[in-house]
Structure 1
């Protein structure tokens, strides 16, 4: 029809965006669901009269179903959106709106986390005036090199798609492009649409079709038959193959296919943080976490593996132990991945496909083939040996303060298989990868691509919204807690039940141990008064009361002294319908699980300190085993 007869509706840019987002859906395997079920936001100048007004109008009139959630910190709301997307297999996420200036730039860390983890989040930072009439506006960056640069340009390197909507009609292609990236398993991550504050409030005659119900199909790319044959031939030639299961197995929903493939072929399965639970911890093929914080079983098998099949893994430096864990001189890789970037790593034979369809095709191509009985028996023996070691770590009897591993042991005794454990930073991710016994991949929620301190409590909000039927348990050290505990108030306001376990050791236990191993003597890693004589922060312990702090934010609080009290506190917390914080102190020097691999952190090449010179000698020794996989 002629353009002048195309049906239109007059709305502001913000009102149009709200109506558009409410009409977007994602579909995979015939199941449709809302792509953007709601918006997180903190209002200030820049969005209060734009998106704020639009969301209020939608709620009052019913013209668009897009619920609003109030966060307490802009970084935290992006973490909540990312955690929600992770729990929902990247098929749903939230939009996040913030005010001009610091409100918006506070979201950058969350954007980096989402993109590093390849999790979709939609960011709507408010921007300076497109008209540039009130110039410079409050909180505007004045760049002497260019007139169109704002602080929001800092989102560019951490976003998978970035656009600035400087005229209302630009929203149409920008919004459609945003949905395309959010629903692309290869390209997904943070998507940023900068919205100048005057444009948000500007009216335009929008084509009605812009607001029609749209379904974005998330397909399952099938593998090329020739590539399947090549990878199958490589595996048939192997005597000591190993599977590395990554997050792609989980997001694809390929857990059953992975188990069936491992059972048929006898290939042992090691996992990454993102892949933990893809195969149950006690499955005969499971050998546990791989790499710098991996199990002795997985790392021993990796050291002698001749063919490594990576499934949905991006091979982080922790997974490869900084390129030292795969030690066989002639080790060869085959990578099944939907992303060419990851499929090509380590000069691998590439199998570009969705994990579910790719594993099914490989299973068919390898029908009748299996590893030798001796190799199966060796993998079982190594896994059993590690489980005995883990049992000892989880029940140490350390005192007077318990070791962190004992807290994890008590937690594992009380929680059910479907209860979600969330963590991101400090020493706990390493302990969890080695010791946590996951049967359900959604029950293990450790963010370790960006390992962002402060993620945990905010992620608890997102995880609980995504899976209200599950118990959500946030594991957070005092370091992360002090960085970002504000979303406890959000949990209370939203009526979200979660258990928050604060493990207090008066400092940064992980970095303290790392500092000591690198010859830096735990410098700057403890929460202490400054000592008048030394001039350093090594005086008495600070009188910080995290339990009282949590209570002030509206949570119920239980303080536990020792493992037995902690175990009982957890049971009470599970029975409590409200947000409950369980506070327990641990020994920062408590024994860690025995390591069996390396992680590269450079040590000073010259030093006046004996401790640093010793650490450098150890570093040089490890470097000799490092290699490119070619």
Structure 2
């Protein structure tokens, strides 16, 4: 048995049924021999985005795996690994390294040396006998603690060598860390004493699958809940206590209740300061931070109380401690709190309804989003945005009702990320409609992999806003735009989708939005990826009340 076959055998024991990659990497062929489906992409970055989504939509229970060629393949992968690291996503990367005699000599690209700052764990294996040990460490890191990418570099000559003896490997365990009971008791007292508490939930709730515990605690405290962009859908946004998600753009309910809160309880979040997340107003407030990673504490937001531990175990323990103080039932605050949320939301929506229902031509992206939400079965849809305007236009208005039906991101904001996320989500959840919303700048970065969706039979729905420009950059590049048309871009993307073998349609009139969506859905149901290109105006308004 060759080393590449040992790697495939271990992947299979860890439950891997599908590996994404770009040749040449001997592990891909070994995986096929082991009956692990290989999905080949047009470029490494999108393939890693797909693996990323597979991990996200399964709460890390099914880890995405990507294998790439030594040298340029590993170099091309760098940006996608950095994105997964920034957004805390567990992905296993298996770069084939240069042959061992030259693997660390310049100018040869070394994954060991170059991925250290954007991965949780990096190893370079040089002995065949050490492959099971390296992969045991890798899977242990992937399944436990803060989720982030893991890189195991396997030199090209190593994977072609023979492996002596049986493969001694058992799947790595999953371990949850419980919170300190003293800290739980302290925080429970703070939450019960709060006059206007707000719960801020991050994607740690998704990875811990702590959705029911979050809802139970919120209902017991009668506390409004907002989420980070990554945590969106962790709490049902049609719930009376839901405020929505805080990205660069956000509903008025988010800013209103954060501003008026006396206690903000962050659970499963990092409280990272970013241009693409709502600011946490900590001045004059009590901040409680519950996280899995001690490195998050007091990093960006000063905290008054802290809990370290798994989000599910933390929320369950807090529920018990709060329930004991409240006699097992809420205090009757819900009608007043829910009425305030509804009042703020209705006033905010009234301000935006002219755009959400506009008949203007070119189309406004907000009208498209409004019709999309009214036409799709939201509870059976996984949707993601892209960087820039599509993110800011979609996230405040999309009402996510079930966990893991919205893939939000924004710690790093690479254009074109959404296509791979939708494709990976569809591979992991073939029962769901998977949608990416992007613009004409984003498709320029990763659009060729729409052909991968066609070839690999991954029927996604792609919603593209085409305003023939990089509109968000116009205000910061007025001279370059006027002199050299520097922000102008163009393309017929519906025709491109058809040329790749998919369904493509260009929409220019408001009355055609819903019929076009319905036609695209029929194509997707028949197994064909569909791209709808909406010709939109240069919309710059976003919701930042």
Q: Please report the TM-score for the alignment, with normalisation by the length of structure 1.
A: 0.79
Q: How does 1:113-128 map to 2 (within 5 A)?
A: 113-128=83-98
**Residues 556 and 123 (structure 1), Cα distance of their counterparts in 2 relative to 1, 3 Å cut:** same
* Residues 1:174 and 1:216: Cα distance change in structure 2 (over 3 Å): closer
Distance in 1 (CA, whole Å) between partners of 2:271 and 2:358 is 32
- Residues 94-119 of structure 1, C-alpha deviations (whole Å, 9 max, x = no match): 32111121111111111111111211
- Higher mean displacement: 341-350 or 444-453: 341-350
Deviation >4 Å, runs of 4+: 318-323, 369-377, 521-524
Correspondent of 2:512 among 532, 542, 565: 565
What is the alpha-carbon distance in structure 2 between the residues aligned to residue 281 and residue 410 of structure 1?
A: 18
1:544 aligns with 2:491: yes
Match of 1:336 in 2: 290
Does the C-alpha gap of structure 1 residues 511 and 317 become closer, same or farther in structure 2, counting only changes over 3 Å?
farther
* Structure 1 residue aligned with 2:150: 191
Q: Among 107, 125, 134, which residue is 1:165 paired with?
A: 125
Q: Paired residue for 1:494? A: 456
How far did residue 569 of structure 1 move?
0.6
- The equivalent position to 2:22 in structure 1, one of 39, 42, 57, is 42
Q: Please identify, of 218-227 and 79-88, the stretch whose mean Cα deviation from structure 2 is larger.
A: 218-227
Question: What SS class does the counterpart of residue 486 from structure 1 fall into?
Answer: helix
1:51 paired with 2:27, answer: yes
Change (3 A) 1:89 1:558: same
Q: 2:502 aligns with which of 555, 569, 573?
A: 555
1:595 alignment partner in structure 2: 544
Answer with 380-389 or 122-131: which moved more.
Answer: 380-389
Q: Secondary structure at the match of 1:341?
A: helix
- 2:165 alignment partner, SS class: strand
Root-mean-square deviation over aligned CA pairs: 2.4
Match of 2:68 among 95, 98, 108: 98
Matched, 1:176 2:136: yes
Give the corresponding residue for 2:426: 464
Question: Judging changes above 3 Å, is the alpha-carbon distance between structure 1 residues 321 and 551 closer, same or farther for their aligned structure 2 residues?
Answer: closer
CA distance in 2, matches of 1:184, 1:476: 33
Structure 2: distance between partners of 1:321 and 1:500? 25
Partner of 2:447: helix, strand, or coil? coil
Which residue of 345, 348, 368 maps to 1:407? 368
Given that 2:198 and 2:265 are in contact with CA atoms closer than 8 Å, whether structure 1 keeps it comes out as yes
Distance 1:77 1:456 in 2: 12
Q: Secondary structure, in 3 states, of the residue corresponding to 1:216?
A: coil
In structure 2, C-alpha distance between the alignment counterparts of 1:298 and 1:455, rounded to whole Å: 26
Report the counterpart of residue 61 of structure 1 in structure 2. Answer: none
Shift of 1:365: 1.5
> Structure 1 150/449 Cα, relative in aligned 2: closer, same or farther at 3 Å?
same
Per the alignment, do residues 557 and 375 of structure 1 end up closer, same or farther by CA in structure 2, a change over 3 Å counting?
closer
Worse overlay, 263-272 or 214-223: 214-223
Q: In structure 2, do the counterparts of structure 1 residues 152 and 228 end up closer, same or farther at CA, with 3 Å as the change threshold?
A: closer
* Residue aligning to 2:244: 288
Q: Deviations over 1:593-630 (max 9, x none)?
A: 4422xxxxxxxxxxxxxxxxxxxxxxxxxxxxxxxxxx
| C-alpha distance in 1 between matches for 2:47 and 2:479 | 33
Alpha-carbon distance change, 320 to 382 in structure 1, aligned in 2, over 3 angstroms: farther
Mapped contact 2:232–2:408 kept (Cα < 8 A): no
> What's the TM-score once normalised by structure 2's chain length?
0.91
1:507 counterpart residue number: 469
The match for 2:8 is: 18
Partner of 2:254: 298
* Counterpart residue number, 1:627: none
SS of 1:81's equivalent?
helix
How far apart are the structure 1 equivalents of 2:277 and 2:36? 44
Mapping of residues 418-433 of structure 1, within 5 Å = 418-433=380-395
What do residues 453-476 of structure 1 show as CA deviations (whole Å, max 9, x unaligned)?
Answer: 111212221010011011111211
Is contact 1:127–1:152 with CA below 8 Å preserved after alignment? no
Deviations 1:556-594 (A, max 9, x none): 111111222122110111112211111111101x36244
Q: Write the deviation string for residues 373-398 of structure 1: whole angstroms up to 9, x where unpaired.
A: 7555434432333343444442133x
